[in-house]
């Protein structure tokens, strides 16, 4: 009997051990599946894309290694204003060391801790300052977007190159000891002579090399996984994606997840739509940018009738008025922000526009309007040289009507809304009218000169 009891206990323990192992395997499988989707998001953060993205830098921000500390002080205010994600410049050590904006990457694993390329810190600060700033962003519910430059590298030593018959600057031995590179990892090499595009004469990475894929996104200690798991990044902005095939971005996103947007600098809507489909991520809406330039710099709001990525595929369109590379919409810039912050797509605000150049109170008001009123599909009600009116039809809410007036005098216009016998008001405060819509949903609204109004249910 004693032996039978011992056998029973042993069987019970064996069952418990196997059951626990099965539960662990299920949990590990679940985590692995989570890791291999684009649904990755840390607990406690605002969903990316429901608010507004802040581009948290501009070209040649102040040097001296204090930028991360500067941004650290902004996170609470940005979150309170309705920002949901912060896009940082490239964070790793580049060839120009303390002077570089990061777009000439040398050591992907040096965040300001190794004395190489002329400095220990990057232009923006130290690794500790970077991770502290990211923690502050997370504490305020903000996701942090990494600027990923994987088309080209810079700063390698000269070496004999069997594929070119001469010497090339392709010998990379970073002090971090991670992702050493040689001529085989660049074009030309044993696989092919080139991919879709090189940039600025820099050594052009070959993403078809398994070694390059492993270090960039596949291995447990890859750039992508280190940035996500150790540094704390939540998403990716891919630089110069014209320089390599869209499957590179797709594979990266499928491996590590996170919100992803590519810089495909092209005004052709069909091309942008093709790329977002092939890469399975978002793209900056350059078609919208150039049409806004025509509208607000060319003083012809009828240009806003033309096609844009957000009109073709709003879920993949990241709209913007300015960025670190291009800032051509100077006149009537606040009108351009009124446009993107009331229309479909995921809008981005440029740091200098928000912090230095434009009226922050007006931008905060537009952010609030975007986050609280701008839902549903878009219907353009009127567009001519000086006036543009559109309505958002609401999705679980009332929607809105935006009236942009580029003329030098107040304008009024009768429009058909989605509301019958309803009091509406201008949520910008630019107009004091509070009209009641007719039973047939028509109402007269107004907008001040060189300005805008945004109407919704009172």
The predicted model gives 184-202 an average pLDDT of 95
Which pTM value belongs to this model?
A: 0.91
Asked whether residue 279 falls in the same domain as residue 365, the answer is yes
SS3 content of the chain, % helix, strand, coil (to 5): 35, 20, 45
Cβ-contact 301, 295 below 8 angstroms: yes
Range of the domain at 395: 378-457
CATH label of the domain that carries residue 297: 3.20.20.80
Asked whether residue 402 falls in the same domain as residue 442, the answer is yes
Tell me, yes or no, whether 212 lies in a domain. yes
pLDDT of the residue at 40:
80
Backbone φ and ψ for 36, nearest 5 degrees, come out as -95, 20
pLDDT of the residue at 239:
98
Q: What is the 3-state secondary structure of 126-137? A: CHHHHHHHHHHH
Cross-strand bridge partners of residue 204:
152
Cross-strand bridge partners of residue 456:
425
Asked whether residue 135 falls in the same domain as residue 85, the answer is yes
pLDDT at residue 250 is higher than 80:
yes
In the chain the first and final C-alpha atoms are separated, in Å, by 81
What mean pLDDT value characterizes the chain?
A: 92
pLDDT of the residue at 16:
37
pLDDT of the residue at 220:
98
Asked whether residue 82 falls in the same domain as residue 147, the answer is yes
Tell me, yes or no, whether 34 lies in a domain. no
The predicted model gives 409-430 an average pLDDT of 98
- Could you give the percent of the chain with pLDDT greater than 90? 91
Among candidate residues 327, 345, 372, the one where a domain is terminated: 372
Three-class DSSP category at 388 = strand
pLDDT of the residue at 305:
98
Q: How do residues 7-57 score in pLDDT, each as one tens digit?
A: 343 433 333 334 333 333 333 333 333 333 346 889 999 999 999 999 999
pLDDT of the residue at 248:
98
Asked whether residue 360 falls in the same domain as residue 385, the answer is no
Q: How do residues 88-118 score in pLDDT, each as one tens digit?
A: 999 999 999 999 999 999 999 999 999 999 9
Number of domains in the chain: 2
Q: How do residues 350-400 score in pLDDT, each as one tens digit?
A: 999 999 999 999 999 999 999 999 999 999 999 999 999 999 999 988 999
Tell me, yes or no, whether 4 lies in a domain. no
Q: How do residues 151-181 score in pLDDT, each as one tens digit?
A: 999 999 999 999 999 999 999 999 999 999 9
pLDDT of the residue at 286:
98
429 pLDDT band, cuts 50/70/90, is very high
Three-class DSSP category at 166 = strand
Q: How do residues 267-308 score in pLDDT, each as one tens digit?
A: 999 999 999 999 999 999 999 999 999 999 999 999 999 999
Integer Cα distance of 113 and 127 in angstroms: 6
Asked whether residue 286 falls in the same domain as residue 419, the answer is no
Asked whether residue 203 falls in the same domain as residue 158, the answer is yes
pLDDT of the residue at 269:
98
The predicted model gives 432-458 an average pLDDT of 98
209 pLDDT band, cuts 50/70/90, is very high
pLDDT of the residue at 36:
36
pLDDT of the residue at 242:
98
């Amino acid at each position: 009997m004693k032996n039978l009891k011992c056998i029973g206990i042993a069987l019970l323990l064996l069952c418990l051990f196997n059951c626990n192992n099965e539960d662990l395997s299920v949990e590990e499988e679940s985590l692995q599946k989570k890791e291999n989707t684009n649904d990755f998001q840390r607990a406690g953060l605002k969903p990316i894309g429901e608010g507004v993205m802040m581009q948290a830098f501009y070209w040649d921000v102040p040097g001296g290694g204090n930028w991360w500390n500067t941004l650290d002080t902004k996170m609470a205010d940005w979150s309170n204003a309705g920002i949901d994600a912060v896009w940082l410049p490239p964070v790793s050590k580049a060839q120009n060391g303390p002077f570089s904006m990061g777009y000439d990457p040398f050591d992907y694993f040096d965040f300001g801790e190794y004395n190489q390329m002329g400095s220990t810190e990057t232009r923006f600060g130290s690794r500790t300052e970077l991770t502290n700033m990211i923690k502050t962003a997370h504490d305020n519910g903000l996701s942090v977007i990494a600027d990923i430059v994987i088309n080209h590298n810079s700063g390698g030593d000269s070496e004999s190159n069997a594929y070119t018959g001469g010497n090339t600057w392709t010998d990379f031995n970073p002090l971090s000891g991670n992702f050493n590179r040689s001529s085989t990892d660049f074009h030309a090499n044993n696989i092919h002579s080139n991919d879709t595009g090189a940039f600025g004469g820099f050594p052009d990475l070959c993403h078809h090399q398994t070694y390059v894929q492993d270090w960039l996104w596949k291995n447990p200690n890859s750039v992508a996984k280190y940035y996500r798991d150790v540094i704390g990044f939540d998403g990716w902005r891919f630089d110069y994606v014209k320089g390599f095939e869209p499957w590179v971005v797709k594979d990266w996103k499928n491996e590590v997840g996170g919100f992803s947007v590519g810089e495909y600098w092209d005004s052709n809507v069909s091309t942008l739509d093709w790329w977002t489909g092939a890469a399975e991520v978002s793209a900056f809406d350059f078609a919208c940018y150039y049409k806004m330039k025509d509208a607000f710099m060319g003083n012809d709001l009828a240009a806003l009738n033309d096609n844009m990525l957000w009109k073709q595929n709003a879920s993949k369109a990241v709209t913007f008025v300015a960025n670190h590379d291009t800032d051509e919409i100077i006149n009537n810039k606040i009108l351009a922000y009124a446009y993107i912050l009331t229309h479909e797509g995921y809008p981005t605000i440029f740091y200098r526009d928000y912090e230095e150049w434009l009226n922050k109170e007006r931008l905060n008001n537009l952010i609030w309007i975007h986050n609280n009123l701008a839902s549903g599909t878009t219907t353009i009600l009127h567009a001519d040289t000086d006036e543009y009116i559109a309505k958002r039809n609401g999705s679980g809410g009332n929607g809105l009507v935006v009236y942009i007036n580029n003329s030098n005098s107040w304008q009024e216009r009768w429009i058909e809304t989605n509301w019958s016998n309803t009091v509406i008001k201008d949520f910008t405060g630019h107009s004091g009218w509070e009209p009641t819509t007719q039973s047939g949903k028509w109402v007269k609204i107004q907008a001040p000169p060189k300005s805008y109004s945004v109407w919704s249910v009172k």
